[in-house]
Amino acid sequence: MQIVPGYSTDFGSIRLIQQFRLYHLSRPSVKKWRTVRHGIPYQVDATDQWILNNLQDDKLVAVDCAGWYFKEFNINTTCLESDLLSKQYFPGCYVEPDIFIHRPTYIPDDQMVVFKYPWFLKYATLDQFINFLNTWVRSITVLNFDPIFIQHNHLKFSLEKLVRNQVDLNIQIINSRLWTVSP
């Protein structure tokens, strides 16, 4: 019997169908967006609605969430993705594989930046999360994620308190899965 030490794409190359499966798993908006082609309005979720209600201008940066659907709402959207597969759906997106640790200089410092369940925040360590915030937060940054999946003792500590102790950023908790962070 062959033993798989952990589910990682580093373990060996995965099949193309699996690459697509994982891509869609972390970006459910793609499937919803594709229905728009048939004349069905894009069905926003609570986070989308919050963004639409709170966006100060008509520009935002959507990171690793196939966020080109915001264009359906006449929002000037810059799409940044870590997976080259995104080009299959939206050739106009930027692809940056090291998006977790690198904020490209062409991303403006004055636009809202949105992350929706980015894969890299799942099982990230607390230090990685802190570095991520310090790297990315130049303007109001919307984080739609599961705080429990940032590695910490969630049975004893609140992630929010741990983070507030380590960064000099303004954190607002909209709900248990939606934070906004600003400088």
Partner 1 sequence: MTVNHDLWRDQQLNGFKNLSGASPILEQEQVMLNFVKTYSDVVWRWVATNTKFKKICQQHISISNTDYNGIIIFGPVFHQQTTQSLVTTIKKLTSECDYAYVTINRYEVIRHDMNIALPDNIDDSLDIIMYHCDPKFKRLHTFNRVDGNHMIAAHPMDCYGLCR
What's the token pair of residue 104? 């490209």
The Cα 65–Cα 151 span in angstroms is: 22
| Residue closer to partner 1 (CB basis): 37 or 156 | 156
Say how many residues touch partner 1, by CB under 8 A: 35
The footprint of partner 1 on residues 22-51 (CB under 8 A) is 22, 25-26
- Kindly tell me which of 125 and 135 has the beta carbon lying closer to partner 1: 125
CB atoms within 10 A of CB 125: 11
> CB of 124 within 8 A of CB of 132?
yes
Q: Would you say 2 or 105 has its CB closer to partner 1?
A: 2
Minimum distance, C-beta of residue 21 to partner 1, in the bound complex (Å)? 7
Site for partner 1 in 69-108 (CB under 8 A): none
Tell me if 161 contacts partner 1 by CB under 8 A: no
The least distance separating partner 1 from the CB of residue 45, rounded to whole angstroms, comes to 14
How many Å apart are CA 137 and CA 116, to the nearest integer? 15
- CA distance linking residue 173 with residue 25, whole number of Å: 25
Q: Which residues, 6+ apart, have CB-to-CB distance to 38 below 8 Å?
A: none
Q: State the residues that interact with partner 1 by CB under 8 A.
A: 1-9, 11-15, 17-18, 21-22, 25-26, 119-123, 125, 148-149, 151-157
